């Protein structure tokens, strides 16, 4: 499945500063019966934290109080731990987030995120603290994520932090391709390689 390419994203941020958020909290298990991407998983993102028992929005939960059109989610340590359910990445993407910034990620979630068009960025604790402070002080504050330069900019451009990303993952995200799309896009080169290999 192809996605809108990620190059430069400038957006407000939704902060959920909780460590060890697991995939069952991201998308509760009762919603896993649906296996199609068109099941509106975004409406179910953080459902047990986001809604009361009778389905009303909790007034103190960040998804209900911060900007609804934010493309960046700010989380804590070990985000996406727990089960390997790909639905967690689906829910985050379907809500509208294209970038998740955290102090660290569970490995399987990070892989699922990249495979589903989400840029997952790990940042040091001190940078995280300053970014969180900006977001809490001003909901309208923008953060810029420049994927070609591996750069996050915030605090009106005064704070700059370079992040690390696997070059292949970066290329796929910038081209808007998942792994299958990437292989298909290189079909002619693969065929040519195989033809030359058998002829040699």
Residue 58, token pair as written in the block = 């909790």
Cβ neighbour number for residue 117 with a 10 Å cutoff: 21
Q: Which residues pair with 175 in a beta bridge?
A: none
**Tokens matching residue 144:** 């810029």
Rounded to an integer, the average pLDDT of 20-38 is: 88
Average of per-residue pLDDT values in the chain: 91
The residue written with tokens 């689906």 in the block is 90
Categorize the per-residue pLDDT at 81 as very low, low, confident or very high, splitting at 50, 70 and 90: very high
Q: Which range marks the domain in which residue 59 is found?
A: 8-199
Beta bridge partners of 79: 105
Write the pLDDT tens digit of every residue in 131-161: 999 999 999 999 999 999 999 999 988 999 9
Q: Is 175 a domain residue?
A: yes
Kindly report, residue by residue over 4-24, the tens digit of the pLDDT. Answer: 999 999 999 999 999 999 999
For position 192, what pLDDT does the model report? 72
User: Number of folded domains in the chain?
Assistant: 1
Hey, what are 32's tokens? 């896993």
pLDDT of 198 above 70: no
Whichever domain contains 124, its CATH number is: 3.20.19.10
Structural domain includes residue 3 = no
Tell me, what's the pLDDT at 152? 98
Give the angle 39-40-44 at the CA atoms, nearest 5°.
115
């Amino acid at each position: 499945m192809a996605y809108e390419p990620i190059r430069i994203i400038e957006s407000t941020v939704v902060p959920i500063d909780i460590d060890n958020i697991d995939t069952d909290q991201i998308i509760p298990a009762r919603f896993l019966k649906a296996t199609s991407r068109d099941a509106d998983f975004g409406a179910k993102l953080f459902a047990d934290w986001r809604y009361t028992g009778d389905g009303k929005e909790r007034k103190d939960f960040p998804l209900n109080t911060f900007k609804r059109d934010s493309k960046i989610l700010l989380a804590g340590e070990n985000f996406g731990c727990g089960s390997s359910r790909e639905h967690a990445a689906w829910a985050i993407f379907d809500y509208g987030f294209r970038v998740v910034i955290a102090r660290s990620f569970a490995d399987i979630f990070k892989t699922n995120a990249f495979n589903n068009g989400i840029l997952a960025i790990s940042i040091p604790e001190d940078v995280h603290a300053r970014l969180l402070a900006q977001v809490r002080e001003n909901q309208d504050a923008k953060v810029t994520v420049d994927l070609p330069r591996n750069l996050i900019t915030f605090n009106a451009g005064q704070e700059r932090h370079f992040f690390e990303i696997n070059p292949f993952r970066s290329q796929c995200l910038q081209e808007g391709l998942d792994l299958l799309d990437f292989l298909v896009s290189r079909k002619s080169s693969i065929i040519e390689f195989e033809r030359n290999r058998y002829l040699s």
